[in-house]
Amino acid sequence: MKLLFAILVLITTISFPGITQVTHFTREGTISFFSSAPLEDIKAVNNRVQALLDNSSGEVAVRMRIEDFQFRKSLMQKHFNENYMESHNYPEARFDGYIEGFDEFAEDAYPDEVTVRGNMTIRGVTNEVAVTGSFRRAGPHYVCRAVFPVRLEDYDIRIPRMLVRNIAEVVEVTVDLRLAPVN
């Protein structure tokens, strides 16, 4: 069983090239988004988010398949994948970055808020971002949570004129990760 686990970690590390030493990971992180518009609120959740942390450097990598977002209505999910995200052409979104000041944290004393900086790629468009959130130790795990806005036009996501009142130009993204130790 340990050999199988080691192989899975090796394969996962290869798909996250920025991380040099994986110390904590999850394949069951959650990213959700909420769009509040005059005619309709839209919420979707992805519970299959993969994330890695190198706790010697504070480097972080997050990957998710766009098709894994689940919506309340199946038609919303279909339109999201086919018309807006074009998940057949852009199947994955990702973030590669680092926790600012990570090397200065005391062993079990973390600040209430941290800033994570790096590159976020959605629909093939990469932007440099800085996100503030919480990062704390819970036994052998790291628990991370952040809520931040994403402007659709920054990632070339176009809303047809006739649907402008149904979909917000800026969506609220929530990230919840519980990273377990590799060993």
- Gap between the Cα atoms of 5 and 49, Å rounded: 18
- 67 phi/psi in degrees, rounded to 5: -65, -15
Nearest to 50 by CA among 100, 3, 12: 12
β-pairing verdict for 41-54 and 70-71: antiparallel
Number of alpha carbons in the 13 Å side-chain half-sphere of residue 170: 5
What average pLDDT score do residues 51-61 get?
91
pLDDT of residue 20: 53
Domains and CATH numbers, the chain: 2-181 (2.40.128.110)
- Give per-residue pLDDT as tens, 9-24: 444 444 444 545 778 9
Instruction: Report pLDDT for 168.
Output: 86
In this predicted model, which residue has the larger pLDDT, 41 or 63?
63
**At residue 110, does pLDDT exceed 60?**
yes
Mean pLDDT of the chain: 85
Whether the pLDDT of residue 181 is over 80: the answer is yes
Q: What pLDDT sits at residue 139?
A: 86
* SS (HEC) of 97-121: EEECCHHHCECCECCCCEEEEEEEE
pLDDT band at 7 (very low <50, low <70, confident <90, very high): very low
| Integer Cα distance of 122 and 91 in angstroms | 9
Give the pLDDT mean for 41-64.
94
* Neighbouring residues of 183: CB distance < 8 A, sequence distance ≥ 6: none
> pLDDT tens digits for 116-159?
999 999 999 999 999 999 988 888 899 999 999 999 999 999 88
pLDDT at 59 over 80: yes
With H, G, I as helix, E, B as strand and everything else as coil, classify residue 18.
coil
pLDDT at 160: 76
Percent of the chain beyond pLDDT 90?
A: 60
Q: Which two tokens stand for residue 157?
A: 């996501």
Amino acid code (one letter) for 66: I
Q: Are 60 and 133 in contact (CB under 8 A)?
A: no
Average pLDDT over residues 88-115: 84
pLDDT category at 99 given cuts 50, 70, 90 is very high
